[in-house]
A and B are shown apart, each in its own frame.
Chain A
Amino acid sequence: MTATAASGATTTVSNLSTRGLTKVFGGVRAVDGADVTFHEGKINALIGPNGSGKTTFFNCVTGMIKPDSGTVTFKDRDITGKAPHAIAHAGIGRSFQLCRIFPRMSVLDNVLVAVRRTGIRSLLAPARTEAEVTKARQLLVRVGIDHLENAEARDLSYGQQKLLELAGVLMGDPDTIMLDEPAGGVNPSLIGRIGSLVQELNAEGTTFLIVEHNMDLVMSLSHHVIVFDRGRPIAEGTPDIVQSDPRVLEAYLGV
């Protein structure tokens, strides 16, 4: 179904949406009644000034933070307030703004953590089965750090850690991936690599929601852009439309 959504330029299919999502920290309304609909099978970008609530919104959707009110719907199921692992199992994978990996585990083990197994028997079976290790290695090859598989993750450069985090997310076979500033803090050549990886995966049917400040990347990658300001979307549309929207310029530049 994702394939049809991607091909039909005018039809909008959504598997993930929020209604009235709100999260207040003390007096700060970090997310303030956000109604957001993401386009399935597309690369959706979420942009907005610092502190506009993008990360908090991400955390509410992925269950890391319990929203004060509002709902999150994924594949017609209400997933509001569900535990993050349950949301991950439902098919949403995510990265963190400041890349988070398991620093003192090997690169390979970092990816193997994301293997899904249930049942006591399979949980007590050895972690490194042939099939899973093979899959993890393929993902490391895909992101380009397979030569480091035995290194401790903390010994990787920041850019390599970002790639490792992505490989871990992919290990869970998510159909929707949320990336919080995938290009933040990595060098330009790596930004290109991450961008083409996102495009490849999207072509295979994965929906993306990307928070990003690098406008070149946002405009070249995304099909649909949502602009956040003070905890809620103020504009959305194709990259071109959004770029020329006066409300967006005002939110960003304060003119």
Chain B
Amino acid sequence: MPNASSTLAAPERAATAATPTDRSRRRKIATVVALIVAAVVVGIFPAAAPNAYILSAGVVILSYACTATSWNFMGGFTGYISLGHAAWFGLGAYGTGILVRDLGLPSFVAWALAGVVVAIITVPIGIAALRVRGASFVIVSIAFVLILLLVFQGWGSFTGGSNGLVVPRPFPDLMRPVHHQVFFYLFAALLAAMLVLWWAINRSRFGIGLKAIREDEDKAEALGIPTRNYKLVAYIISATFTGLAGGMYALWFGDLDPIFQFSILLGSYMVLMALLGGIRHLLGPLVGAIIVGIGLEVFKLQFGDTQFHLVATGLLLALVVLFMPDGIIPALQAGIKRFGPQSSSIREMTAGELAERNRAAGVSGASVFAGRKAEREGVENEDATTPTEEEKR
């Protein structure tokens, strides 16, 4: 299938192979450039920030980026949408705080240990929650975070309850702005670690299996992928990094309250940010976090402590799902492609269109020998006929 864009391709390569390869190389270059820009911005931001408020907003946005990226290990790769990921954030935060308070562990030892604790808790919860799919999984994830909220509010003697838990600062003698600066870099390092892992999984055998699960879980299983174990591992990775982000937040912010740590809102933000940026893209959740994070800060400045930002968040989520289901990054890519050379489509006709057309033409299935044969001869010139019955599973 020769097409217009093949004129741009290197002459020694076949026309059919050249276009997609060039496109993927261009995409790779774009990602590398974006990463370099991001690294430079992260590097100079703390020094360039005009005041401590902007700096702390930067820390918040990076913490959002960490949670959205960690959420994406599950949501992006497997397509399992967890609205209750705040549970892992809260467990990591409280785990860190309580380990410092009760065992007197050094802050970052407690932080790492809390990550291990979260990973261990994920195993039974994951085995139970991943027995269901789709909407049921969403509901189970919400139920889990609500249960934790009640437990942490009710068990005041251990968690501090609604009075909150004060987490000792890891660097008590640092001034506020320097404290923010240090945590800005710590969150950036955590994010970088996640991005590297995401990139590695994305191109791995494991990643291809996870993406197959996202596309069609039963089919993946039939092709030999142990889907249950794959999902569980993705879930553990996702929850553990969310917990580590929570622990980091606890050490930075120093004050925990169940109502904020175990909130469905926090989990919803993770989903919104990842969807907004694009769950199939390495930098999608980061882009989403920057947009949502800045948006939330602006809202707070403009309208104070109202619930107005909730309405805006809900609206944005609806708009994204309706009009940009793949997120901003793919939308931008498509926009850029429109200015580039046009390539003719290889598409002949998809199964969906086919079914649609045949339905319109009134082709129906018959089941007896003769009926089938006649039907087939009757539509000889068609590309195909409609399968007669839905697959029953």
Contacts and interface: CB of A to CB of B under 8 A. Distances in A.
A213 B368 CA distance: 8
Contacts of B348: 156-157, 160
Nearest to A161: B351
A19 B56 CA distance: 68
Contacts of A186: 384
Contact of B390 (A98, A156, A215): A98
Interface in A166-222: 168-169, 171-172, 181, 184-188, 190, 213-216
B393 A252 contact: no
A170 to B, nearest CB: 11
A159 B205 contact: no
Given A64-B393, A100-B218, A158 B384 contact: yes
Interface string B351-393: 1001000000000010111001100100010111111111111
A59 interface: yes
B222 A84 contact: yes
Interface string A95-137: 0111111111100010011111100001111111000000000
Interface string B208-235: 1101100110111111111110000000
B372 A214 contact: yes
B364 to A, nearest CB: 12
Contacts of A185: 354, 384-387
B306 interface: no
Given A158-B354, A252-B369, A89 B347 contact: no
B73 to A, nearest CB: 14
A83 B226 contact: yes
A187 B16 CA distance: 25
Nearest to A55: B392
A124 B221 contact: no
Nearest to A181: B387
Contact of B347 (A96, A123, A155, A214): A155
A105 B384 contact: no
Choose among A88, A98, A252 the residue with the greatest number of B CB atoms under 10 Å from its CB.
A98
A241 to B, nearest CB: 16
Contacts of B376: 188, 214
Contacts of B216: 100-103
A97 B388 CA distance: 10
Contacts of A103: 215-216
Given A127-B205, A252-B369, A157 B354 contact: yes
B371 to A, nearest CB: 9
A97 B389 CA distance: 9
A85 interface: yes
B200 A124 contact: yes
A85 B227 contact: yes
Given A150-B20, A158-B383, A123 B222 contact: no
Interface residues of B, number: 58
B209 A113 contact: yes
Nearest to A151: B346
B354 A115 contact: no
A127 B207 CA distance: 8
B221 A85 contact: yes
A88 B224 contact: yes
B206 interface: yes
Interface string B93-108: 0000000000000000
A9 interface: no
B1 interface: yes
B163 to A, nearest CB: 44
A150 B211 CA distance: 17
A185 B208 CA distance: 29
B291 interface: no
B236 to A, nearest CB: 13
A198 B350 CA distance: 24
A230 interface: no
25 contacts: A49-B368, A50-B389, A55-B391, A64-B222, A84-B221, A94-B222, A96-B222, A105-B208, A109-B211, A114-B223, A124-B200, A126-B205, A127-B203, A127-B208, A157-B383, A158-B384, A172-B223, A172-B224, A185-B384, A185-B387, A187-B380, A214-B372, A214-B373, A215-B372, A252-B367
Interface of B: 1, 16-17, 19-21, 200-201, 203-209, 211-212, 215-216, 218-228, 345-351, 354, 365, 367-369, 372-373, 376, 380, 382-393
Interface of A: 49-50, 55-56, 59, 62, 64-65, 83-86, 88-89, 94, 96-105, 109, 112-117, 122-128, 147-148, 150-151, 154-161, 168-169, 171-172, 181, 184-188, 190, 213-216, 252-253
Given A105-B212, A124-B205, A150-B19, 15 more contacts: A56-B392, A65-B393, A88-B224, A102-B220, A104-B215, A109-B211, A126-B205, A148-B346, A155-B345, A156-B348, A157-B348, A160-B348, A185-B385, A185-B387, A215-B372
